[in-house]
Amino acid sequence: MATKTRSARKIRNWLGEAIKILGFIMVLTTGLDYWRDKDIATGIPPQMEGKTTTGEFIDVTALSQQQPVVLYFWATWCPICKFVSPGVNWLSEDVTTVSVASTSGYDRTLNAYRHHHDFQFPVINDQAGHLTQQWGINVFPTVVILYQGEIKSLTTGFTTPMGIWLRTQLAYL
């Protein structure tokens, strides 16, 4: 009987410590997001339109009038983007997604990179980084959820497809 009580106490202590650690991590990541996002446009963003690497013209603001749009700022040289991009690609099958590749080379180079990784989302090539500067983006990747022409959600760094999808659903609220 005493062994069961000790085991239960150990489990409660372990769970208590795990909850404290998770709470600390949540506070830390929220603080980091806030600090990294301080220069990024909020509310009504700058107009986002451009020609993709395949020659298609996209007006992201117009697309966002009917449904939430995932606007994905990334770069081929970004190590975290290598983990986030496949999830964004998977999500783009069901959610309207447009990406902006910053300082990642010529259209031909980006198309080869997309083909190699089998990315299906459209890519606007921000070769000189002007769009990312205009939006105040200085951390990659950055995921922005636009709905009805407004920024509804913004996150920087690593995120999951489920996290992005949930943000698109919350945009309707």
Which pLDDT score, from 0 to 100, does residue 121 have?
97
Q: Which residue has the higher pLDDT, 27 or 152?
A: 152
Residue 37 has pLDDT above 60, yes or no: no
Residue 2 has pLDDT above 80, yes or no: no
**pLDDT tens digits, one per residue of 109-131:** 999 999 999 999 999 999 999 99
pLDDT band with cut points at 50, 70 and 90 for residue 8: confident
Q: Which residue has the higher pLDDT, 23 or 80?
A: 80
Q: What is the share, in percent, of the chain residues with pLDDT greater than 70?
A: 87
- Across 10-19, 28-37, 83-92, 151-160, least confident range: 28-37
**Are 114 and 53 contacting, i.e. CB atoms less than 8 angstroms apart?**
yes
Residue 43 has pLDDT above 80, yes or no: no
Dihedral sign from CA coordinates of 40, 71, 145, 162: negative
For residues 64-80, b (16+ Cβ closer than 10 Å) or e, as one string? beeebbbbbbbbbebeb
pLDDT band with cut points at 50, 70 and 90 for residue 6: confident
CA proximity to 74, closest of 118, 130, 137: 137
Q: What is the share, in percent, of the chain residues with pLDDT greater than 90?
A: 68
Structure token digits, residue 171: 């945009």
d(CA 4, CA 10): 10
Residue 12 has pLDDT above 90, yes or no: no
Instruction: Work out the average pLDDT over 75-80.
Output: 96
Which pLDDT score, from 0 to 100, does residue 1 have?
57
| 56-to-6, 8, 51 alpha-carbon distances in Å | 65, 61, 5
Instruction: Work out the average pLDDT over 40-44.
Output: 65
Which pLDDT score, from 0 to 100, does residue 34 have?
58
